Structure 1
Amino acid sequence: MRIDLTAREEKPRLMIIPMIDIIFFLLVFFMMSMLTMVVQKSVPLTLPQASTAKVSMVENIPVTVTADGAVYYEQEKMSLADLEDRLWKQKQQGEVSIILRGDASADYGKVVQVMDMIKNLGITKVYIATDTKG
């Protein structure tokens, strides 16, 4: 009887399950880190809270009313007449969607005045920005 003392070489096996786990982890990591890199083209302020607030992924034009009553188009401070001209020109180029961002301590009348001006231009897609309660 002959005894074989040579070691048998097994073919290396490719373990795909750990690789899938690592790729999934990297995918989730990069998706979560991209959420913090979203650029807001507007003035920082404290938004009022609402339980039905949602995040929209459609590009919108931010119009901001600060606590002291200043009106901003993106980050540019302007008067209501200048804002009306800017939005009219924007509407002539195509469909316009506005996010009206009013500080929680802003004068309610000023926010309504801006909203009324936007509606008078015939812009129907006007959203009011809020924070979620939590």
Structure 2
Amino acid sequence: MSVSTGGQSADGVKKARIEIIPLIDVIFFLLATFVLFTLSLNRIQSLPVDLPQAQPSASKSQEDDMIVIQLSEPGTAFWNKESIAYAEIEGRLRAALQANLNPRVLITGDDKARYGAAVQAFDEVRKAGVTQVSIETTYRPSGR
């Protein structure tokens, strides 16, 4: 800010005046400086990374070996698209464990499934002794 004494009053005393134009220039200069400074901060330096590519499954038998347990409303579950009760899950898993040394289990749910049902299914899988368990994060329509 600058003070100018260019104006005089009627009694002959010079009045002080505040010039706002230089103040506006300084503010615009600071604004432009901060804008340019923040734009220079957006440079992201990164390293090139070679990510592995997904390979389609070699055979359909791997998908056929997977056991899909789909959870629905309380008391209803599906074993590879076959409707079963929760009480049957452990027995069927033990039979699958006898037939296949290391069965793969996928636990999924529909829009009516509850969190407690998923915990119960995981508990049944653990009690049966199955070690390869996955959970699907998108829901499927019932029985699919």
So what's the TM-score if we normalise by structure 1?
A: 0.51
Map 1:8-27; keep pairs closer than 5 Å: none
2:67 maps to amino acid: I
Structure 1 counterpart of 2:83, from 77, 80, 92? 77
Name 2:109's counterpart in structure 1. Answer: 102
Structure possessing the higher relative contact order (Cα contacts under 8 Å, 6 or more residues apart): 1
Q: CA separation in 2, counterparts of 1:56 and 1:117?
A: 31
Q: CA separation in 2, counterparts of 1:55 and 1:104?
A: 30
Task: Work out whether 1:90 is the aligned partner of 2:96.
Answer: yes
Q: CA separation in 1, counterparts of 2:71 and 2:131?
A: 19
Q: CA separation in 2, counterparts of 1:55 and 1:101?
A: 23
Distance 1:81 1:68, change over 3 A: closer
1:56 CA drift (Å): 8.1
Unaligned runs of 5+ in 1: 1-53
Q: Determine which structure has the larger strand proportion and give its number.
A: 2
Distance 1:123 1:104, change over 3 A: same
Identity %, equivalent residues: 28
Contact between 1:69 and 1:107, CA under 8 Å: does it hold in 2?
Answer: no
Name 1:123's counterpart in structure 2. Answer: 130
Q: Aligned-pair RMSD on alpha carbons?
A: 2.4
Name 1:65's counterpart in structure 2. Answer: 71
Name 2:25's counterpart in structure 1. Answer: none
Q: 2:130 aligns to what SS in structure 1?
A: coil
Unaligned runs of 5+ in 2: 1-53, 139-144
So what's the TM-score if we normalise by structure 2?
A: 0.47
Name 2:35's counterpart in structure 1. Answer: none
Q: Deviations over 1:52-81 (max 9, x none)?
A: xx9984421100001455111011111222
1:83 CA drift (Å): 2.0
Q: CA separation in 1, counterparts of 2:74 and 2:124?
A: 19
Q: CA separation in 2, counterparts of 1:121 and 1:56?
A: 30
Question: Rg bigger for which structure?
Answer: 2
